[in-house]
Amino acid sequence: MDARDTDLKKELDASLRARGELGEEYESALVDSFLEKVDRRIDDAVERRVRRQVAEQRTAAARGSRSPAPTDSWGERFGFGIVSLVLAVPLSAIGGGVAHLPGLLVAWAGIVGVNVVQAARTDPGLFQRRRTASRDDGWED
């Protein structure tokens, strides 16, 4: 039991003693007084919780607003994709010519890896949104 509960219990005991001393004609006033104190206690507790939740929401919003914004335009992403495909042709030829299928697979793994890193760099929430969306569609992971 914390100090506030102890104080409330003392208030209730005092109200009951006063009722015994003052008689039944003051019972209504004593009950109203006690209920006002309980109401204030509840209001204070609710206000504290609301303030705490608002502060938590503001903190979360402030943290969320600091997430990195996409750093490049659509044109830059398009250009990166074109360069990636243009370089894929000679890399595929070299990898396939030197090491056959394993070389081709390594070359394409590198191309895909570079493009994934670029996508993650330009839009940090890209893969997080997809993971969240796949969980929301009702399918089990």
Query: Residues 14-43: pLDDT tens digits?
Result: 888 888 888 778 888 888 888 888 888 888
CA distance 55 to 140: 35
pLDDT digits (tens, 9 = 90+) for 99-109: 999 999 999 99
- Name the residue type at position 43: D
